């Protein structure tokens, strides 16, 4: 999940991600892009500000999760000034999944997909 171009406060950030959407979708990744005025929950895995691209969050199984700002790239590994928390806690993993389902429902985000011809829709 990331911001749609319409919801992004920095168009260049979206431009860095956009060229990879088709390949990601062909690889089986499910992509969701937040709508500019989607339903707002009281608590969000994406934070409370409009600068929601910064948070990285994922679950691995029913027990393990990660939440942080750390970028998973070589530059961040060597020049890291950010952090994250890796945890083994089923209750937190389930809470993250509930929040994700809320943020990815059609009232809050677009589901990016491929047409039969392979173009984005």
> Which pLDDT band, with edges at 50, 70 and 90, does 43 fall under?
very low
Q: Both tokens of residue 98?
A: 């509930």
Residue 18 clears pLDDT 80, i.e. is over it: yes
6-10, 79-83, 100-104: least confident range: 79-83
Is 8:36 a contact under the CB 8 Å cutoff?
no
Encoding tokens for residue 15?
């431009």
Write the pLDDT tens digit of every residue in 99-111: 999 999 999 999 9
pLDDT at position 46 over 60: no
66 secondary structure, DSSP code: E
pTM of the full structure: 0.75
Provide φ and ψ at 71, rounded to 5°: -85, 135
- Which residues share a beta bridge with 110? 33
Angle among Cα 55, 60, 62 to the nearest 5 degrees reads 115
Q: Which residue reads 């173009």 in tokens?
A: 119
Element (H, E) at 81: none
Q: What is the mean pLDDT of the chain?
A: 85
């Amino acid at each position: 999940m990331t911001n749609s171009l319409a919801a992004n406060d920095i168009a260049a950030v979206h431009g860095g991600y956009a060229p990879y959407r088709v390949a990601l979708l062909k690889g089986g990744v499910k992509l969701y892009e937040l709508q500019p005025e989607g339903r707002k929950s009281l608590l969000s895995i994406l934070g409370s500000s409009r600068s929601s691209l910064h948070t990285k969050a994922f679950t691995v199984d029913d027990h393990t999760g990660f939440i942080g700002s750390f970028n998973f790239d070589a530059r961040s590994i060597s020049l890291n000034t950010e952090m994250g928390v890796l945890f083994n806690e089923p209750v937190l993993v389930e809470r993250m999944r509930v929040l994700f389902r809320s943020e990815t429902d059609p009232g809050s985000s677009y589901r990016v997909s491929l047409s039969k011809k392979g173009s984005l829709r």
